């Protein structure tokens, strides 16, 4: 049995395990779970009642968001998608459908419409956050890039309190996520098996 590297942090070890599990998913797994996530996400009160949702386009083996984005857009929800800036901060633009997405750096897909500025996220009633895990307290483990830490800090500075939602695979709801002082709990997690709401604090 391979020993864990003692130099890796608790978060890094958990991230590696979760990414390895995602790497084993088949295209059929990805397609099936994306439909299930859209079905559960579309009826989640935090998303169903939102006039504006800040979200993201899933890539690779991330839990699929595209069917959910389209379901929200068809319903009339204004969906904002991120545009990665050179300093790792996020600008935002309105999602106008799959045909208005363009390939960008790091394998990302970004909206081609007018940029609204980093503060546009403050208009969102709900924010769909990427993640790798969440625990029973709602603590989220992100990818570690820091872009969404900036988003959450910007919302806090503006006095905004949108619903924070994360899409995950069922086995990514774990007993405990290591946390740091800047980490924020989410209000709900959606998996292919359903949704769990943690309540507003």
142 is in an annotated binding site: yes
User: Of 124, 130, 94, which is closest to residue 110 (Cα–Cα)?
Assistant: 94
13 is in an annotated binding site: yes
152 is in an annotated binding site: no
146 is in an annotated binding site: yes
The per-residue DSSP string of 78-119 comes to EEEEEEE-TTS-EEEEE---GGGEEE-GGG-EEE-S----GG
57 is in an annotated binding site: yes
Residue that has been written with the tokens 């459908």 in this structure: 97
79 is in an annotated binding site: no
62 is in an annotated binding site: yes
140 is in an annotated binding site: yes
What is the 3-state secondary structure of 121-137?
Answer: HHHCCEEEECCCEEECC
145 is in an annotated binding site: yes
- The phi, psi pair for 153, rounded to 5°, reads -65, -40
197 is in an annotated binding site: no
Residues 6+ apart with CB under 8 A from 150: 88, 89, 90, 118
105 is in an annotated binding site: no
117 is in an annotated binding site: no
- Which parts are annotated binding residues for ATP? 11-15, 140-148
- Which parts are annotated binding residues for substrate? 57, 62
- Which parts are annotated binding residues? 11-15, 57, 62, 140-148
């Amino acid at each position: 049995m391979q020993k864990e590297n003692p130099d890796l942090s608790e978060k890094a070890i958990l991230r590696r395990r979760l990414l390895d599990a995602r790497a084993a998913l088949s295209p059929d797994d990805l397609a099936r779970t994306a439909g299930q996530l859209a079905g559960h996400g579309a009826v989640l009160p935090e998303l169903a009642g939102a006039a504006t949702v800040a979200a993201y386009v899933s890539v690779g083996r991330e839990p699929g968001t595209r069917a959910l984005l389209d379901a929200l857009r068809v319903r009339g929800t204004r969906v904002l998608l991120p545009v990665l800036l050179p300093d790792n901060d996020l600008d935002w633009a309105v999602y106008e459908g799959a045909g208005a997405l363009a390939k960008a750096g790091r394998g990302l897909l970004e909206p081609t419409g007018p940029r609204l500025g980093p503060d546009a996220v403050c208009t969102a009633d709900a924010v769909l956050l990427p993640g790798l895990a969440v625990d029973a307290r709602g603590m989220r483990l992100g990818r570690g890039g820091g872009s969404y830490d900036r988003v959450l800090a910007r919302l806090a500075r503006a006095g905004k309190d949108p619903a924070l939602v994360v899409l995950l695979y069922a086995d990514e709801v774990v007993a405990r996520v290591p946390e740091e002082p800047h980490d924020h709990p989410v209000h709900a997690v959606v998996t292919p098996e359903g949704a769990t709401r943690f309540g507003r604090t």
